[in-house]
Structure formats: structure tokens, C-alpha cells
Amino acid sequence: MLEVGKKAPAINLLDAEGKRRSLKEFSGKKVILYFYPKDNTSGCTAEACDFRDALPNFSKAEAVVIGVSPDSVESHKKFAAKYELPFILLSDESKTILEKYGVWQEKSMYGKKYMGVVRTTVLVDEKGIVRKIYPKVKVTGHVDEVLKDMKEI
């Protein structure tokens, strides 16, 4: 189970360009890991664009933004190009990392139960320690909240 104050689980996934990425490569920087359900859906697009628009502020805080979903590398590539997303999108088709971070959960819509990503953001400090977890994120105002909290890490 993911806990504040503990080491963030290792990540080893492909990005939108097919390059293997790990959390270790961002040692010395703060990392905003945001887990989202699906490319090109209204909520996920709004969240991605909010992070995109706030990226200069995250960069000033020496923070890296990384989006993670179960979509394919190709889907991420198209999504990033369509919305000019300048940050890393990681593909977790196997759901290994989604499960490690506890965001692959049973969901319910219109009375039907299914497995999916519960929109969650995790702030990781320069040493790889989880500093804050935002479970069941509501998109509106979320990026502003994360920016505010970044100053306290």
C-alpha cells in the first residue's frame, strides 16, 4: 500500500516515444505522478491541459510532471501531439505500476462494476519519498492545489 513518508514504488515503463523511463532518472527533482483513466476523454484531457498550462510553474519548482495510464504508447503519442503536452506520459498496459500505486481499483458506473484507474496524484520528493497522495481527484482546481502544496515540500 502506498504511504506518505515511504519510498515511492519503482517505475519502469515506456513513454510516448517508446523510451524506457524510470523514477530513478528524476532523482534530485520533485515528481508529480498523476494517474488517469484514458487518453482523449473529457476529464483526462482537461486534467492534462491544466498540467500543461501550469508546467512553467512546476518547472520553477524544479518538478517534473508525469502522467500514467493503461493506454498504449501509440495512444499517448497521439494524445500528446493533439494537445501539445510537453511532459512525459507513461504507458502501463500491464497495469503493474497502477496496481503497485493502488490506483487500479473496482469502479462502478450506471450500476455496472468494472476495473479501472481511480484518478490519483502522488507527489514524490527529490529523494524518492512520497510526500502527498491525492486520492479520487476532482479535475477542477486540482492543479492549483498541487502547485500550492509543492511549495511546502
What residue segments make up the domains of the chain, in order of their start? 12-150
d(CA 127, CA 35): 20
Beta strands across the sheet bearing 130-134 = 20-22, 12-15, 88-91, 63-69, 30-35, 120-124, 130-134
CB neighbours of 31 closer than 8 A, spacing ≥ 6? 8, 23, 63, 64, 66, 123, 124
> Full-prediction pTM beyond 0.85?
yes
Rounded to whole angstroms, the Cα distance separating 33 from 41 reads 19
For the domain covering 12-150, report its CATH number: 3.40.30.10
- Residue 77: what pLDDT? 97
- Per the residue annotation, which of 16, 23, 32, 44 is the catalytic one? 44
User: Which pLDDT score is estimated for 62?
Assistant: 87
User: According to the model, what pLDDT value does residue 125 have?
Assistant: 95
Give me the average pLDDT of each 10-residue run along the chain (153 residues).
93 96 94 96 94 92 95 97 97 97 92 94 96 94 91 79
> Is 49 known to be catalytic?
no
CA pair distance 33, 27, nearest whole angstrom? 14
Q: What is the dihedral of CA 67, 58, 136, 94, to 10 degrees?
A: 20
